[in-house]
Structure 1
Amino acid sequence: MFVSSHNITLFLNKHKLHTRPHAGHGLWLMFLLPAALITSAAAHPVMSSSTYKLSSIFSVGLLFSSLIFLYESSKTVRLKVTNVWLILACCIVAGLLQICLHRGLLFSFWSAIVSTVLYHSLYFSVLKNMPNCFSLGEAAICCQSYILLLYFTVINILNNIIRPATSMMQMSTLTIQVGLIGLSAIIFISYQFGIKNPLKFYILTGLIFAFVVVVPLQILLKTNPLLWILTLFWEDLQRNKVLVYWVLFSLVAVVFVNRRIKRAKKASTIGRKIFHFLIIAVFIPGLLYNCCLLYLASGVILGIFFMLEVLRVLNIPPLAEALQNGLVVFGDEKDTGIIAFTPMYLLAGCSLPLWIHPAPCDVTNSAVFNLLPLLSGVLSIGVGDTAASIVGSKFGTHHWRGSRKTVEGTVACIGSQLLAIFLFVFCDFIKLSNMDYVKTALAIIIGAITEAKTDQVDNLVLPFIMYIILIV
């Protein structure tokens, strides 16, 4: 379906919606997350649980809703929360749930409404209340992710009541989901009631953390979640080593940031890539030797990142001033709205393959069995994007048409990722057939060209592109 950029702009102006400046609409991003989930379920029918298969059909609703938004915006008509197209989409999704997964009528329609009407409403609300933060495509990915979080938190809680979680992955998933819902409640109440007083904010945070996160998890997991997490970190020597390793690299990041802030000098593009190196150093050992712990830690750290951003935006002491100084020094040109999403995008981009893969960690608590697709974020962002930035800024002279990116940077992006793949093969962490080599090379080349040409947030886009190609 062809969508006129001019009509989209007229639609945005009509509804007084302000997207991220100096960026295209990025409409194609709307289909990345649903495509990744549907492709994963199709590629791994045996490995995919019933809940994961549910997510793939749920994604069909997200796709329909995105298409409906594109139709409405292309015609510059008034955006409606409910219309005949959304009702039709609901019926199709509900029918798929009944036919493919044999779900009940009430459950099927409830699920369909969440994936279409609720998502449609949330998407418009985010665009209206968070001006200049997203392109249309970036907002779609974030809203789709949040709707999936809300829906599957409810599903997992209900499943846990019937059949309590026993594995570390199940317990970690529930902990992350309930924790992020609690954080959402803090953000929503603080925004809705304009809470900026530090004492009121910390009281609110303490109450929600206790009664929305800790107590429900205590009931669901039948153990104190905080003690459970601490026990995980210290119950065996290998986890101790991984934890100490992560703490050391975290301290390196803190020292580096603190020194840069004291110098009060804006970090260059290369200077910001220190965080990409840290991501590589943290994720690769985690994937190889303690996948479940990395899975849990990535979700917890994402919540901490969001909480720190809330403290900065609301100017809550004692961390607000330091966080604001850090943004001034390390802020990306894409952080144009009230919220700086760059740190969250970097972490989420590297973690996304781990979060959306149907079975990321095998029985040995490593990701070696599925390592290649799970490296999508680390390779495309940590390795490729970093190499492209360093080589492009230092040695780049030939620019892509209509882009600030250079051909030299793109070549470095491709070469560095291919070298990383060969190193994994040489160390016997990955085994590739001839077809796998072709597919991997294709994923790397397409990702590198996208990195060079797109004006969307590459930390969010590139992992999806590589993952979708590699998972097939």
Structure 2
Amino acid sequence: MVTTLENSAGGRLARLYYEACIPASLMIVAAWNYGVHKGGRSWATSAVAIALSIYSLWIQRPRKFSGISPWLEGRIRPGADDGAVWGILLVPLVLFAKSADDNFKYEWLISISLSMSLLLSLVARTVYRIWKPVLLFLTLWISGSVILAHGMNTFGGSLFMSTVLFMLASLMAVLNIDSIIKLLPGSLSFGEAAVGAQSLILVAMDLGARTFTRGSSTESICLEAAVVGLALLALSLSFAFRYRRRMGKYIEPAVFGGLSLLLIWLVLALVKFATKKSPVAWVLSTVVLGSTTNIVLLGYWAVILSFAALFYKCAGPDSEAANKFWLHVRRKSYHGLATLLFAPGILYARQLLHLGFTVALACFVLAECLRALHIHPWSSVIDQFLRRFTDHRDAGAIVTSHFFLLFGCALPVWLGGSSAVACLAGVLTLGIADTAASLVGTRFGRHRWPGSPKTVEGSAAFAASLCAAAGIAYAAGADEKCGPIGLLVLCAVLAALEALTTQNDNLVVPLTMYAAMHVALGSGSWHTGSALLVALAWAAPSLFQGRNWRLSKKRGSMLSG
């Protein structure tokens, strides 16, 4: 029995290691392309990124531990691995991929994200070990920050000030991750919290830079101001309601409304200061009423949402016998609804969709604050509705499913780029491929991946439907930089990732596809396809090791009998 358990644990660690090969392979290709084509001092940034990718594989190599750092035990989402490699690599990978687009001019964000990732790799794996590796990696982090600062001309070329900026941002990222995990126990993995903390810091820093830079797009200012304002609102509400015993049930809504209105006013004032335009007038004149297409799309959204509300009201009983089946139908209908809503906007009115995602995020945050803080009388109604769509990943302090679905669809649109298929990554992977995988796996799935509820048939449906949907997008006139072989390899890798990962696939899979498509733009589909093929080849043994061990267990029990 001991041998069997060790083998099972070894198979789990092997799966984690092979999963880490996917972002690491993409990062190496993206960093190499970034350093070669940018020239100048960009070689330093690329060298640090490649070294970080190799180090991420080293810290994730199979060894005798549970897959979760000791200090994270009992603090992260139950049933999930810590996701350290995704927390280290995902944000800089997406920024490197975005740098393939000529419109991305804030290259200093890449260097800051790498500096944060260097420190996060120390916190995730090394900080609770013996002192020699800690001192060694602290030296590497400081020297890496100096190299990155030397490569970027921030603060007028001051190496000291740039290094201080990078190191302060890294320390803030670590503190934010710890605060997020403490504030939302059991809701997120370390990797998901790291992605959120890094993104929030980078958005705040970019907002500060854009505020005093003329020519910044109004929709970007609105988005970043809204994100920072919503984060401050959630934090201020959590502090305010620590002393809720002094409040009555009529004072609580007043406090919530007052803080919300104050943050909304501050966000609108910041947008007006940065853009010299009234945000309300700009939205009405330019975005909403700026074209006939936008008006038609708004009407289309109203009709679809009306039918969706009627469907969810009548979407089956909530009894224990039927709950599992109808929960499956409801969750995947949410993905289908996202496809119907977002695909036309990406194709015909991306600016309106950009703003729509921002408004949707604000509504989600406000609704979740009402629910999680138990503010009378709306909390019970919101909780009753959301609990009809939750699963085991929503066992923590907040309901995360709808947030991750929104981020998975919205982030490729918010990031933008010259690849239409990359901007469609969320809709293609979540609205089409994930739905097809779930339906096929539930109806026809017979062979499960070792240690996973996902089925081989479902993964095959994921890859086939994603490839077909991307092919239709190409045929409709989207960019054709990614050839058919590269597309097939990418779909197979994403299907393997969706089956392997215990991180929230609504976040990881769309961003991986977004990064891979933009890496292909900069380096060619041959290099990207080769890197992903290597990652897939490395991942394949982990998909079957557990099955072989189970067969060995059966044979051993038969011999002993």
TM-score by length of structure 2 reads 0.73
Q: Using the alignment, how far apart are the partners of 1:152 and 1:67 within structure 2?
A: 24
Equivalent positions of 1:5-16 (< 5 A) are 6=65, 9=68, 11-12=70-71
Q: Indicate the residue corresponding to 2:219 in structure 1.
A: 172
Equivalent residue runs for 1:140-159 within 5 Å: 140-159=194-213
| Residue number in structure 1 paired with 2:448 | 399
* Partner SS for 1:468: helix
Partner of 2:91: 33
Asked if residue 24 in structure 1 is aligned to residue 81 in structure 2, the reply is yes
CA contact (8 A) 2:233 2:263 kept: yes
| C-alpha distance in structure 1 between counterparts of 2:366 and 2:161, whole Å | 33
Aligned match of 1:365: none
Q: Does 1:137 align with 2:188?
A: no
Partner residue of 1:304? 363
Per the TM alignment, residue 73 of structure 1 is displaced from its structure 2 partner at its CA by 4.4
In the alignment, the residues of structure 1 paired with residue 76 and residue 294 of structure 2 have an alpha-carbon distance, to the nearest angstrom, of 43
Q: CA deviation at 1:252?
A: 2.7
Deviations 1:359-401 (A, max 9, x none): x3xxxxxxxx521211222111111111000110111111111
Q: Does 1:190 align with 2:237?
A: yes
Structure 1 position 129, deviation (Å): 2.9
**Alpha-carbon distance, 1:106 to partner:** 6.4
1:323 aligns with 2:382: yes
**Which residue type is aligned with residue 24 of structure 1?**
D
| C-alpha contact (below 8 Å) 1:280/1:378 kept by paired residues | yes
**After superposition, where does 1:33-432 map in structure 2 within 5 Å?**
33-41=91-99, 43-44=100-101, 47-51=102-106, 53-73=107-127, 75=129, 86-98=141-153, 103-105=157-159, 108-159=162-213, 163=214, 165=216, 170-194=217-241, 197-210=252-265, 212-231=266-285, 232-260=287-315, 266=323, 267-357=326-416, 360=417, 369-426=418-475, 428-432=476-480
One-letter amino acid of the counterpart of residue 366, structure 2: M
- Given that 1:286 and 1:294 are in contact with CA atoms closer than 8 Å, whether structure 2 keeps it comes out as yes
CA distance in 1 between counterparts of 2:69 and 2:276 reads: 54
Equivalent residue letter for 1:466: M
User: Aligned partner of 1:353: which letter?
Assistant: P
Please give the alpha-carbon distance, in whole angstroms, between the structure 2 residues aligned to 1:449 and 1:432: 24
Distance in 1 of aligned mates of 2:381 and 2:130: 44
* Amino acid in the other structure paired with 2:484: Y
Where 2:187 maps in the other structure, the secondary structure is: coil
The separation in 1 between residues aligned to 2:478 and 2:272, in whole angstroms, is: 39
Contact 1:439 1:469 in 2 (8 A): no
Task: Supply the RMSD in Å over aligned alpha carbons.
Answer: 2.7
Distance of aligned partners of 1:431 and 1:39 in 2 relative to their CA distance in 1, 3 Å threshold: closer
> 1: CA distance between counterparts of 2:71 and 2:378?
36
Does the 8 A contact of 1:62 with 1:119 survive in 2? yes
Aligned mates of 2:382, 2:278 — CA distance in 1: 31
Aligned to 1:459: 506
Number of aligned residue pairs:
444
The AA in structure 1 aligned to 2:200 is: Y
In the superposition, the TM-score normalised over structure 1's length comes to 0.86
Cα displacement (A) at 1:448: 0.6
Q: What CA distance in whole angstroms lies between the structure 2 residues aligned with 1:153 and 1:225? A: 16
Q: Which has the higher relative contact order, 1 or 2, with Cα contacts under 8 A spaced 6 or more apart? A: 2
Q: Work out the CA distance in 2 between the residues paired with 1:464 and 1:49.
A: 17
Summarize deviations over 1:274-328 as a string: whole Å, max 9, x none: 1111111122211111111112221221122111111111122443222100122
CA distance in 2, matches of 1:431, 1:341: 33
Which residue identity is paired with 1:228? Answer: W
Q: Structure 1 residue 2: deviation in Å?
A: 2.8
Change (3 A) 1:132 1:164: same
CA deviation map 1:73-122 (0-9, x unaligned): 46277999x965554443233222239x9644466235313431111221
Per-residue deviation at 1:7? 7.5
Amino acid at match of 1:284: A
- What amino acid is the match of 1:307? L
Alignment partner of 1:6: what SS? coil
Identity level (%): 26
- Between stretches 268-277 and 456-465, larger displacement belongs to 268-277
Instruction: Between 128-137 and 454-463, report the one with greater CA deviation.
Output: 128-137
What SS does the corresponding residue of 2:503 show, helix, strand or coil? coil
- Residue pair 1:19, 1:136 contacting (<8 A) in 2 also: yes
Structure number with larger C-alpha Rg: 2
What is the one-letter code of the residue matched to 1:429?
G
* Secondary structure at 1:404 match in 2: coil
What is residue 366 of structure 1 aligned with on the other side? Answer: none
Give the partner amino acid of 1:328.
Answer: R
Q: Could you tell me how far apart the structure 2 residues matched to 1:306 and 1:340 are?
A: 11
| CA-to-aligned-CA distance 1:421-447 (integer Å, 9 cap, x gap) | 232233x322536x5222221111101
Farther off after superposition, 223-232 or 409-418 = 223-232
